[in-house]
């Protein structure tokens, strides 16, 4: 029991562990450290393509982090830094794709899917409610037949 509790505690706090890449570099202010961390999280490692450069251990990710740090020190803006890295490695390194004609469908699809799903749900609900109002489950003739069968079976049971 104690073991289970121990494991539970360990696993629940393990979610808060994250490698803070900014600690490897020296920053003058906490703000700068945060800015670096944010930039590192918005840039994708071109080698380990499902990781940002903050998380990736690949050599190219380290080179990119070094460059971000160097450019920050040289006074470049966030946009300058992103553009410089995109100029070398392509749009792919932007973790958040830019909203432009090419990526419009990429951005719009979740909204289209959810909206479309909602329309379908609403359509189904309206249609089923409409049929429940106007069309009874049995016609008058079928209802009479059903009552007759029920009456006969009751008589049969009483015998």
Chain positions contacting other proteins, by CB under 8 A:
46-47, 49, 59-60, 63, 67, 86-92
- Smallest separation (angstroms) from other proteins to the CB of 123: 8
- Smallest separation (angstroms) from other proteins to the CB of 117: 12
- Smallest separation (angstroms) from other proteins to the CB of 47: 5
Nearest-angstrom CA–CA distance, 102 and 89: 18
The alpha-helical segments, DSSP class H, found in the chain are 2-14, 30-42, 59-73, 78-89, 104-134, 140-158
Q: What crossing angle do the helices spanning 30-42 and 78-89 adopt, rounded to 10°? A: 30
* Closer residue to other proteins in complex, CB, 63/147: 63
* Closer residue to other proteins in complex, CB, 50/158: 50
3-state secondary structure of 34: helix
Q: Cβ atoms within 10 A of the Cβ of 23, count?
A: 10
* Closer residue to other proteins in complex, CB, 91/152: 91
> How far apart are the two ends of the chain, measured CA to CA in Å?
63
* Closer residue to other proteins in complex, CB, 20/66: 66
- Smallest separation (angstroms) from other proteins to the CB of 56: 11
């Amino acid at each position: 029991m104690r073991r289970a509790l121990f494991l539970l505690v360990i696993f629940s706090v393990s979610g808060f562990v994250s490698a803070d890449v900014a600690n490897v570099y020296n920053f003058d202010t906490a703000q700068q450290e945060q800015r670096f961390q944010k930039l590192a999280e918005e840039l994708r490692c071109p080698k380990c393509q499902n990781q940002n450069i903050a998380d990736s251990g690949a050599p190219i990710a380290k080179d990119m982090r070094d460059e971000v740090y160097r450019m920050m020190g040289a006074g470049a803006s966030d946009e300058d830094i992103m553009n410089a890295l995109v100029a070398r490695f392509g749009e792919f390194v932007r973790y958040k794709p830019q909203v432009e004609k090419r990526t419009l469908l990429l951005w719009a699809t979740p909204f289209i899917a959810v909206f479309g799903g909602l329309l379908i749900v609403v359509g189904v609900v309206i249609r089923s409610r409409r049929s429940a109002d106007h069309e009874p489950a049995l016609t008058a003739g079928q209802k009479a037949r059903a009552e007759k069968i029920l009456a006969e079976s009751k008589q049969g049971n009483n015998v």
